[in-house]
Each structure stands twice: as structure tokens, then as C-alpha cells.
Amino acid sequence: MSGVASPTPLEAWDEVFVRCTRQQVNAVIVDPASWGVWWPGMVVEQLDDRRFDLTITARAPIPARHHLVVTVDRVRPRDKGLEFSVSGDLDGSGEFFHLDGPRGVVVNHLLRGTTSRRLPRIWLAAHRAIVRAGLTSLKDRMEGGLPPGTEPDRALLAHQAEEMRIFAQEVAQDLAEKAAMAAAAQDATSQPGEGG
């Protein structure tokens, strides 16, 4: 029996609501070189234009030191997030994606992969605490110290209403296109039998 643990699959999803626009938060998220500025305990070394070496140290609630290499795979269009691959303590993929709401944006962080580290569930709990600390720090930075419960300014509310209108329009258009494709496919399959 070897001393190396077999890979354990892990998945984590964390989110935070931020009173700002998707465009504002996305500008910070899509630049991993800047993550160490706002993410507590993170040191970032840029390896090339797409790869970043991250070392994250946390003292509480679970003392931990995590090492990941993040490779940017795709910046989502319309300021909707970032997809990346990870290697190191976890091998897999992750993403930040943002969902507009009437008073701001929900920033989501999803991580999935495998780890060969001992005590993988404890590693995952520590990593989720690290991510939550980063998301909370991002929220504080983007909101500029607004106290909880403070109503967003009118400009943000108007911007978010417009973004939600655009999203609803995009969804309606997408559904109409899918319905037209389904109808065309239905017509194509029913015509050969009609001729007789």
C-alpha cells in the first residue's frame, strides 16, 4: 500500500450579494493578478498572461495553506464572469459567474475537481472558509463600506432594472429561436412520410 491517497472528488459553491453592477465586479474578477490586493491571505505570482500561482494562508477558522495554479480558460461575454482550470492542491476547474438582481449582483464561485491531499473534507472546509473570506472582502471593497441594509443609490437601481430587462429580452429571444428550431425539426421529420 502506497502513502499517496487516491484522488477524492470535491465540489464547492459559494456566493455573495454585492451592491454594485456586474460590470464593476467583473472588472476585478477577470484580473487574477489583482486578487491578492483584495483577497485576505493570498499571494499571487503571475507566471504568464494566463497562468497565476496562488498561495493562500488562513489562520481561522481552520488554519490552512493552500497552493493552486489558476489558468484562465475563458472570460465570459457581457461581463458575466471567468472560467479557469486549477492544479496543485486541487486538480480541476472553477468559475466566477455573476447574476444581476434588482439591487445589485450575486457573485458566485464554483470549484470542482479532485485532490490527493490527506483529509480532503477538512481541506475543502478550509478552502470554502478562504473563499468566503475573499468574497466578503470583495463585497466590502466594491460597496465602499456601505452599512448592511443601506439602500443602493438610484443610479444603481436604474442600471440593474435595465440589465434585468435586457436579460429577459435575451431569454425570450433564445426561447423563440429554440421553438423555431424545434418546429423546423418537427416539420422535417413529418414531411418524408406525407408523400406517400
Q: What is the pLDDT of residues 94-133, one digit of tens each?
A: 999 999 999 999 999 999 999 998 889 988 999 999 999 9
Contact call for residues 6 and 22 (beta carbons, < 8 A): no
For CA atoms 109, 110, 113, 115, the dihedral sign is positive
Checking if the pLDDT of 3 tops 60, the result is: no
The domains of the chain, with CATH numbers, are 9-143 (3.30.530.20)
Q: Would you put residue 144 in left (φ > 0), alpha (ψ -120 to 50) or beta? A: left
Contact call for residues 10 and 119 (beta carbons, < 8 A): no
Non-local (6+) Cβ contacts of 194 within 8 A are none
Whole-structure pTM value: 0.81
pLDDT tens-digit series, residues 42-74: 999 999 999 999 999 988 777 889 999 999 999
Ranges of beta strands (E only) in 24-117 are 42-46, 51-58, 64-75, 81-88, 91-101, 104-115
Checking if the pLDDT of 1 tops 50, the result is: no
Contact call for residues 81 and 152 (beta carbons, < 8 A): no
